[in-house]
Structure formats: structure tokens, C-alpha cells
Amino acid sequence: MYCHLYRKFERFRRPELLDSAKAGGEFLLRYARVAPPEKKCAFVLTRDGRPVKVQRTIFSECFYTMAMNELWRVTGEARYQSEAVEMMDQIVRWVREDPSGLGRPQLPGALASASMAVPMMLLNLVEQLGESDEDLVGNYAELGDWCAQRILQHVQRDGQAVLENVSEDGKELSGCLGRHQNPGHALEAGWFLLRHAIRKGDPELRAHVVDKFLLLPFRSGWDPDHGGLFYFQDADGLCPTQLEWAMKLWWPHSEAMIAFLMGYSDSGDPTLLRLFYQVAEYTFRQFRDPEYGEWFGYLNREGTVALTIKGGPFKGCFHVPRCLAMCEEMLGALLNRLVPVQAAGT
């Protein structure tokens, strides 16, 4: 995140920020890989670099890849990009060829399912790694299309619901696992897909994404009584099994702001701009700490602060600064588009 801010914004182009980013990157290179040459990364390390916890998913490795790629962009040091590409190749092998290296046993009673989180995270990596490298754009073109198609399979029930989990062949699952919905995840997947569709120049996909991954989850996920996005929902309106289902969390609102502003920037549809303002107004009123800054992460359904911590095992320096940075960039581009029109009019 420090590298991204350093690269994108003049006011963050400060040597101490880059030094901090490089120090973090070197710490990861030295300690994050749990048992080199194995590729798994620790989710939690002690201060002196000893592994505490390893997740049996791809996500620690995905964020490690993003970090190495950003370090390469600002430093030009090839070893960082080499590490990013090497880890990306390993992630793809886990997802598409052999998941055994993740350490997750295939238990006979477990329902085989495909989570939307996996292809959407991979699509995000495809877009990032290809941003400044035309060779990688070509290398990952098929992977990007594969990710998009896998995400689109989560639109179920004749286009009336985005489900978090489906079967391996893209069908609805039975039980609460199949009915599970995460409005924030659908919106985040929406802007990943929208960026993919824009890059490909596919207007039909762009319209489909806005309809199914932006408007649909917002309509079902926005709390009509207290405002804000529910954390989890059940597609049949039953009580979700997750105890925190009615809470309002920081990251779905961050992703919703990005999604609606990106949709408006691309289409000019005023509905999407209104929804951006609706989410932003709630977010800055309820999550932001007016006294000390930063955002609280966890609110009750009514919008009151449930946990006063500003950071924790899952709330790090990512969703909030990414949201603010991307929204600032998009708003700046919109203003730049508007200024010449106004000048011509006067």
C-alpha cells in the first residue's frame, strides 16, 4: 500500500514512506515463506519473524504477490517482480491443477464447492500484474477470461441472486452453504469484472456486470431500516448461520464506493453516482472516527461502534486506503473531463 501511494500520488512521494515499504518487503522476503523452497506464506508472524499461523487458502500468497509487484514498480529491482511472478505461478497451480500444497484435506463428508473469492482474487492479480507489463498481459489473458467466467457462474436463480458458493460445474448448492450471500464480496467482484470488461472493450459484459454485481447485491444487501450493507445474507430470506450477519463492516462499504464510482466513470449513469453518494455518506458518517481519524471496522446493525479497535487480524492497511486512493483518482479524472466542457461553455 505504501508503494502504491508513493507511486500514484505526489504528496506521498516521500523517502521515509518508500524506506518503510522496502523494510516491510525485505521482512516478507526473509520470513514470510514458511519453509522455503515451499511457497506457502505465513498469515501471522512474530515480531522477529517466526511463523505463528498459516491459512489453508491462497490469500496470504496473493497479497504477498501484490506487495512484491508494487515494490518492483517503485524500485525497479527485478528480484521483487521475479518473486511476484513465481508466486503467481504457484497460486495458479494450486487453483487449477493441484490444491494439495495448500494443506487442506479433502474430507469425504465435505460438500465440494467453488467459492467466488478464489477467481475474483486471481482476476485482481491478473489486472495488477499486467498493468505495467505487456508480456504478462499476454501470458495471463486466458487466465483472466477463465476467472471472469468462473465469477459469472455465481449469478444464479435466473439472474436474481449472486451466491457466494456454487458447485464445481457452476450450479446452485443445497443448504445454507448454497444460499449464502455476501453483498460486499459481490460488489468487489463487480469492480474487478468491470475493469476486466473495460480493458477487453466488451460493452455487453460491462452492462451485465453493472446489473448483476452492482445493482442487484446493493438492492438486496442495503439495510432499509438503518442503512449500510449487511455482512451476510441468506438468498431465501432465512436467518443466516453466521452470528455476525447483521453487522456492518468497513470493507464492504469501501468496495461499494469503488464499484459505484467506477461504474459511473465508465457509463455516466447518474443512478450509479447517486448510489456512490449514498454509500459514501453512510460510510464517512458511521465508520470514520472524527476525533482520532481512521475508521472503526465493526458496527452493530444500528450503526453504532461494536469494536473500538482500528486494526486487527483482518483489518489492516488495505481496504480503506485502497478505496480512498482509487476514489480520489477517479474523481480527479472526472473533474478533468468536466473542466474543458465548462470552459468551452463559458
**Could you please report the per-residue DSSP string of 3-61?**
HHHHHH-GGG--HHHHHHHHHHHHHHHHHTBSSTTS--B-SEE-TTS-EEE--SSSHHH
Report how far residue 11's alpha carbon sits from residue 268's, in angstroms, rounded to the nearest whole number. 29
Helices (H) and strands (E) in the chain, counts: 14, 11
pLDDT of residue 342: 57
Q: Which of 289, 296, 259, 254 is nearest to 275 (CA)?
A: 259
Would you tell me how many other CB atoms lie within 10 Å of the CB of residue 267? 16
Distance of CA 283 to the CA centre of its chain: 17
H helix runs in 76-133, sequence order = 78-96, 117-129
pLDDT of residue 341: 57
Let me know the angle formed at the C-alpha of 19 by 16 and 20, rounded to the nearest 5 degrees: 90
- The strand pairing partners of 44, in sequence order, are 53
pLDDT of residue 36: 78
Report how far residue 37's alpha carbon sits from residue 17's, in angstroms, rounded to the nearest whole number. 30
Cell digits for 27? 521482512
- pLDDT tens per residue, the chain (346 residues)? 999 999 999 999 999 999 999 999 999 999 999 987 779 999 999 999 999 999 999 999 999 999 999 999 999 999 999 999 999 999 999 999 999 999 888 889 988 899 999 999 999 999 999 987 888 889 999 999 999 999 999 999 999 999 999 999 999 999 999 999 999 999 999 999 999 999 999 999 999 999 999 999 999 999 999 999 999 999 999 999 999 999 999 999 999 999 999 999 999 999 999 999 999 999 999 999 999 999 999 999 999 999 999 999 999 999 999 999 999 999 999 999 887 655 555 5
Q: Which of 103, 95, 100 is nearest to 65 (CA)?
A: 95
123-134 b/e (C-beta count within 10 Å ≥ 16 → b) = bbbbbbbbeebe
Half-sphere exposure of 120 (CA within 13 A, CB side): 22
